[in-house]
Amino acid sequence: MDQIKTGELIRRFRTEQGLTQKELAERINVSDKAISKWETGNGCPDISLLDDLAEIFGIDVKVLLSGELEKNESENGNMKKLKFFVCKECGNIITATSDAAVSCCGNKLTAIEPRKAEENEMLKVEDIGGELFISSDHSMTKDHFISFVVYQSDSSFMMFKQYPEWNVQFNLPLFRLGRLVWYCTQCGLLYQDIRPRRK
């Protein structure tokens, strides 16, 4: 652990959260002098405090240990490269526009790689005069259902949460370009490019 880099990060995250040194110290049961010492690079937090600090700042412990906040320059936030993480425990859906360390319910999640839907798996897309009507005959039982559907373009995305025992049906503003991505609890993450057809 580089004391100076880690100290600078602690100061940066503390000020971004609008916390005084005293307020941060109270949250992790240390003195404000300890916080000051860390932030000036004259010491570093005990390893037993790293989890608490990471939780308060909403970061990974590895960031505190390395003293560096990695930036994902390669993706540049392109929505077409949106990554999806789904927690098998609680069904939480998390997205990121580039590589990310994601965990939920105590488990580390990995991004799910979408596969192109076969003809018989595709969602139905109909142009209904100014909107797209999206529907599916997919099974929607408690054990096998589509959890969410996302419309995705290079600059935006819209998510439509789905529920067991409900039919997949929703309207989408009329877009000529884009992709539909959806997650099935049994089949995984699938996608299809939008090609609206007139009724």
| Shared-domain flag, residues 102 and 129 | no
Q: Which tens digit of pLDDT belongs to each residue from 127-160? A: 888 888 999 999 899 999 999 999 988 778 899 9
Q: Is the pLDDT of residue 13 over 50?
A: yes
| Residue 72 counted as domain residue | no
Nearest-angstrom CA–CA distance, 98 and 185: 24
**Which class for 105: exposed (0-12), middle (13-18), buried (19 or more C-beta within 10 A)?**
exposed
**pLDDT-derived band of residue 176, with 50, 70 and 90 as boundaries?**
low
Q: Which tens digit of pLDDT belongs to each residue from 14-50? A: 888 788 999 999 999 999 999 999 999 898 888 888 8
| Shared-domain flag, residues 144 and 191 | yes
| Shared-domain flag, residues 51 and 99 | no
**Rounded mean pLDDT, 58-65:** 81
**Rounded mean pLDDT, 3-23:** 87
The number of distinct structural domains making up the chain is 3
| Shared-domain flag, residues 157 and 99 | no
So what's the pLDDT on residue 198?
A: 45
| Shared-domain flag, residues 49 and 85 | no
Write the DSSP assignment of 40-54 as a string of letters.
Answer: TTS----GGGHHHHH
| Residue 177 counted as domain residue | yes
Nearest-angstrom CA–CA distance, 69 and 59: 9
Output 173 or 176, whichever has higher pLDDT: 173
So what's the pLDDT on residue 195?
A: 61
CATH of the domain at 20: 1.10.260.40
So what's the pLDDT on residue 70?
A: 60
Query: What are the residues facing 149 on neighbouring strands?
Result: 160, 182
| Shared-domain flag, residues 124 and 100 | no
Q: Is the pLDDT of residue 73 over 70?
A: no
So what's the pLDDT on residue 149?
A: 95
| Shared-domain flag, residues 121 and 143 | yes
CATH of the domain at 175: 2.60.40.730
DSSP 89: T
Half-sphere exposure of 20 (CA within 13 A, CB side): 6
**pLDDT-derived band of residue 74, with 50, 70 and 90 as boundaries?**
very low
State both tokens at 83.
């990554």
Q: Which tens digit of pLDDT belongs to each residue from 88-120? A: 889 899 998 887 889 999 889 999 999 999 999
Domain carrying residue 95 = 79-109
